[in-house]
A and B are shown apart, each in its own frame.
Chain A
């Protein structure tokens, strides 16, 4: 069985990577969509280059699915333009756009076999009968599902159904691949496997892909770039590391990774640093970022990994008392109560030779570096 499978798999791979050379370019210009009074998508600009995988990351209800449905042509936007390879597609019906979409529940046709599901798009595109069966076999091979061709979707596991949904979608060689929370219904271990699998297929096919997710880890691990959405707007588009290290807004900072948030007031500005008095009373020093004037109300954030615990005697930083100690394998997570009753999370690498700081101990929270603090307008 595998002996036959190998040649057709290489054929499929060759064909798909040929497609890679023409990875299509997707451009969204000022897309806005209203449902009645509510605005679901608000002035979105986004450019996805050929073969790129961009994750659309944002909390539930921020307009991700609506944006996908606009790109797929299921709904037409209130305002703005969608372009594939520089050509307007707004006039094209959903069945003429050449957009492949994988839904969270996979949306396999329950009354058809796996093979019939994969053949469906080819039939819709009027492929000659004799070319459909080999193509279906090729696609099933690509997702390692040959043995299941005659099964019904209900006889497959979640991961298997997802492979079929992908095969069905890729069979018609779509210009753009849209994935709407595709891993949400899978349990954790399977999710990782499928993320690797989807990434593999996406790479081979070189297909321009938009992945919708509310899971930051998924976005960070899979995407070439991440577009963070909030309340219908895109707040930042950047590489995963840039999103994490240089969040453009407080929302992005809080939504991607965990962070500690403090309110405070600028008390001193120089060319090299700003000094901020936090509402708890402690004074911290940070790098001057955007232009703030003395007396401005601001928000300061710092990630748990960028803090360390110093003995309370004579240190700079925020004084506090350790409330909780969670030794999590290689790291120890501390919850420290600072002045004003605010809990601050601190994560430090566990040192086997040193006893962890104990509950009830007084400590000072010290940033690893001045640039660890990020400052946003309040």
Chain B
């Protein structure tokens, strides 16, 4: 038997397998990219239509629907509400989420572990159920839904993002650095401000970005807790589509895609977003 040939033969076959596997992965990746991008591309193309219907492909191109946004008072108010809610939600989520992650990372108590799971639960539990429950809760407390309650409810569903990225950053943080800082005479506050925060800052920022986006396009919670005065953009757009197939929604969507893109690039540059999420 030609034993010297056998290994080469086998290597050849493995190469072939690897190549076909690679091809498969490439095809799957391309498919995924297509599915991720296609809706946005279609919406953006539609938003430049010259016709008064949401037909795709558009019969002609124009900027008329973007111009029309200048007069869309209700839509503008909804967008402003959304930005406000997202801003406060992010601020509170980052503060609470960072504080909670510090405690969780520092402790090995089972109660703290349980708290971690509890804080993370909004990621897996149906948000619709939470939105409904919080509406009942607000009424039981004797209030009507308003902006502060909307923000609070958003915080509940957005904190997990901050918690995850910050905890991930904290596990990368060498505890010897904190000990070194302390033994050099630093107070706990100085250690936090000068050592901990700068070293986990990118993780916190990445979490803040995710929290902002999650709040900005949240539907299930806002559906229950937003009234006419606090109507948020995603819900307003949904109603416009449902009632009169308003083409301005496509233009608004185009702007949202652009806005998100800019935020993402900024987050990538300043916080290394994708690296924080890995």
Contact = CB atoms under 8 A, between A and B. Distances in A.
Our verdict on whether A and B bind, yes or no, reads yes
A34 interface: no
Interface string A89-120: 00001111111110101011111000000001
A121 B181 CA distance: 8
Contacts of B242: none
A103 B252 CA distance: 56
A101 B179 contact: yes
B211 to A, nearest CB: 24
B176 interface: yes
Contacts of B199: 110-111
Contacts of A125: 185
B185 A107 contact: no
B176 A121 contact: no
Interface size class of A (residues with CB under 8 A): 20 to 34
A124 B180 contact: no
A105 B190 contact: no
Interface residues of B, number: 17
Nearest to B201: A111
Nearest to A116: B194
Interface of B: 174, 176-177, 179-187, 190, 194-195, 198-199
Contacts of A73: 183
B179 A124 contact: no
Given A110-B199, A111-B199, A120-B194, A103 B184 contact: no
A297 to B, nearest CB: 45
B71 to A, nearest CB: 49
Nearest to B185: A124
Contacts of A72: 179, 183
A265 to B, nearest CB: 50
A93 B181 CA distance: 13
Nearest to B176: A107
A172 interface: yes
A99 B176 CA distance: 15
Chain B residues touching A, majority SS: helix
Contacts of B198: 111
11 contacts: A94-B182, A95-B183, A95-B187, A97-B183, A100-B184, A103-B176, A107-B174, A107-B180, A110-B199, A120-B184, A125-B185
Contacts of A103: 176, 179-180
A119 to B, nearest CB: 10
Nearest to B177: A107
Contact of A95 (B174, B182, B194, B195): B182
A24 to B, nearest CB: 15
A273 interface: no
Given A94-B182, A124-B181, 15 more contacts: A72-B179, A93-B182, A94-B183, A95-B182, A95-B184, A95-B185, A98-B185, A105-B176, A108-B180, A109-B195, A120-B184, A121-B185, A125-B185, A169-B184, A172-B184
Nearest to A171: B184
A95 B186 contact: yes
Contacts of B174: 105, 107
A101 B194 contact: no
B182 A74 contact: yes
Contacts of A96: 185
A168 interface: yes
A125 B182 CA distance: 11
A101 B190 CA distance: 18
A70 B187 CA distance: 18
Interface in A192-229: none
A125 B174 CA distance: 23
A122 to B, nearest CB: 9
B184 A124 contact: yes
Contact of B184 (A74, A105, A111, A168): A168
Nearest to A103: B176
A148 to B, nearest CB: 19
A5 B148 CA distance: 62
A74 B182 CA distance: 9
B188 to A, nearest CB: 8
A105 to B, nearest CB: 6
Contacts of B183: 72-74, 94-95, 97, 99-101
Contacts of A98: 185
A77 to B, nearest CB: 17
Given A110-B199, A111-B198, A111-B199, A124 B176 contact: no
B108 to A, nearest CB: 11
A201 to B, nearest CB: 17
A168 B186 CA distance: 13
Contacts of A168: 184
B248 to A, nearest CB: 47
Contacts of B194: 109, 120
A114 B9 CA distance: 57
